[in-house]
């Protein structure tokens, strides 16, 4: 992953099949670097009642919702499994097991 801006952009386009929407979101490398640092730090601290597990960009959440995967109804373990299955480990903020 690379490059700038943290906002989701939707474009309305047309092709031979008709109209379609295309969503995109640029993820800054500095964001990925911050998450990597949080992952490394997670092994050195004891968690309290709550633990940050991931920081997932809006465009990924929207894609998952369109596929029927609603993160608001899933457990942290299911969300982490989905991130790993789609090779999106960069968005994890902990090395700890759930």
- Please, is 87 exposed, middle or buried when counting C-beta atoms within 10 Å of its C-beta (0-12, 13-18, 19+)? exposed
Confidence of residue 72 (pLDDT cuts 50, 70, 90): very high
Number of neighbouring beta carbons within 10 Å of residue 93: 19
Domains of the chain, by residue range, sit at 29-91
Please check the confidence at residue 2 and state whether its pLDDT lies above 70. Answer: no
The model's pTM: 0.72
Q: What angle do CA 68, 9, 71 make, to 5 degrees?
A: 25
pLDDT at 30: 93
What number of CA atoms fall less than 13 Å from residue 1's CA on the CB side? 23
Could you report the per-residue pLDDT of 5-60, keeping only the tens digit for each?
334 566 666 677 877 677 778 888 999 999 999 999 988 878 777 888 999 998 89
């Amino acid at each position: 992953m690379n490059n700038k801006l943290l906002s989701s952009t939707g474009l309305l386009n047309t092709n031979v099949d008709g109209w379609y929407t295309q969503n995109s979101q640029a993820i800054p490398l500095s964001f990925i670097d911050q998450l990597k640092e949080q992952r490394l730090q997670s092994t050195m601290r004891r968690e309290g009642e709550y633990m940050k597990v991931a920081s997932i960009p809006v465009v990924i959440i929207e894609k998952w919702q369109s596929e029927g995967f609603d993160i608001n109804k899933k457990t942290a373990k299911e969300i982490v499994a989905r991130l790993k299955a789609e090779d999106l480990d960069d968005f994890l903020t902990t090395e700890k097991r759930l």
